[in-house]
C-alpha cells in the first residue's frame, strides 16, 4: 500500500486500519494451519484466540457506532478467549467479519463527525478519541499476531515489512519513489 499524504484524520485512520489488517493477514498466511491454535504457554493466547477477541471487540465497538455504547450488553469479553475458531477458514471468516464492521462504520463518516460524542463503557469519547483508542488496540493485537506468526513459522518466515538487513536498499527505493512503508 503506497503511503498517501493526507491531513484528514479519518483518511489516515482508515489507511492505518487497512495496514494492520494487511500485516495480520500477511503474518497469518505464513503459519501452518495447526500452529494457528497454539498458545506458547498457559498465560498466552493463540493467534486464533486473538482474532476472535479482535472480532468481538470490533463488533462491540463499531456496530451502531454513533448511537449505542461501544461495549454492547451482549458482549462477553471473557468468552472471546475460549472456544476460538478451529480452522484457518473459520478464523479468517471471523477476522473478515470484524474488519467489515470497522470499515462499514468508518467509511461513511466525515471530518465533521470527529467531534461528535460516543460512549464506550459509559464514558464519553469524541469520535476521534474512540478511533484512536481502537487504532492502538488493533495495532497492539496485530503485533501479537505477527510476533507469534514469526515464532511459529520459524525459518520459513518471510518479512512483511522491511526485511532485516535491507533498510538501506529500502530507503533507496523510497527515495526513488518505488516503495513505501504503506
- Predicted local confidence at residue 167, as pLDDT: 77
Total structural domains in the chain? 1
> Residue range 137-152: average pLDDT?
98
Structural domain range at position 38: 9-175
C-alpha cell at 33: 494451519
Angstrom distance (rounded) from CA 40 to CA 57: 23
Q: How far is CA 8 from CA 2, 129, 135, in A?
A: 16, 15, 15
Per-residue pLDDT at 128 exceeds 70? yes
Domain containing residue 51: CATH number: 1.20.120.450
Q: Round to whole Å and give the CA distance between 16 and 3.
A: 10
Residue 162: which pLDDT band, with cuts at 50, 70 and 90? Answer: confident
pLDDT value for 144: 98
Strand partners, 123: 120
Query: In 10 A of CB 65, how many CB atoms?
Result: 21
- Between CA 88 and CA 72 the distance in angstroms is 27
To the question of pTM greater than 0.85 for the whole model, the response is yes
Backbone φ and ψ for 123, nearest 5 degrees, come out as: -100, 135
The DSSP code sequence of 11-70 is HHHHHHHHHHHHHHHHHHTTS-GGGGG--SSTTS--HHHHHHHHHHHHHHHHTTTTTS-S
4 part of a folded domain: no
Average pLDDT over residues 47-55: 98
Amino acid at each position: 500500500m503506497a503511503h498517501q499524504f493526507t491531513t484528514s484524520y479519518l483518511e489516515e485512520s482508515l489507511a492505518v486500519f487497512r495496514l494492520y489488517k494487511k500485516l495480520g493477514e500477511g503474518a497469518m498466511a505464513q503459519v501452518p494451519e495447526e500452529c494457528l491454535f497454539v498458545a506458547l504457554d498457559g498465560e498466552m493466547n493463540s493467534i486464533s484466540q486473538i482474532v476472535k477477541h479482535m472480532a468481538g471487540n470490533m463488533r462491540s465497538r463499531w456496530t451502531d457506532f454513533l448511537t449505542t455504547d461501544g461495549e454492547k450488553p451482549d458482549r462477553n469479553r471473557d468468552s472471546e478467549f475460549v472456544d476460538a475458531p478451529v480452522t484457518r477458514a473459520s478464523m479468517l471468516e471471523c477476522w473478515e467479519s470484524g474488519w467489515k464492521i470497522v470499515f462499514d462504520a468508518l467509511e461513511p463518516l466525515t471530518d465533521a463527525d470527529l467531534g461528535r460524542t460516543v460512549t464506550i463503557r459509559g464514558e464519553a469519547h469524541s469520535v476521534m478519541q474512540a478511533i484512536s483508542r481502537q487504532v492502538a488496540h488493533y495495532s497492539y493485537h496485530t503485533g501479537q499476531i505477527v510476533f507469534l506468526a514469526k515464532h511459529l513459522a520459524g525459518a520459513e518466515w518471510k518479512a512483511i515489512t522491511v526485511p532485516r538487513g535491507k533498510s538501506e536498499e529500502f530507503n533507496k527505493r523510497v527515495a526513488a519513489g518505488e516503495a513505501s512503508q504503506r
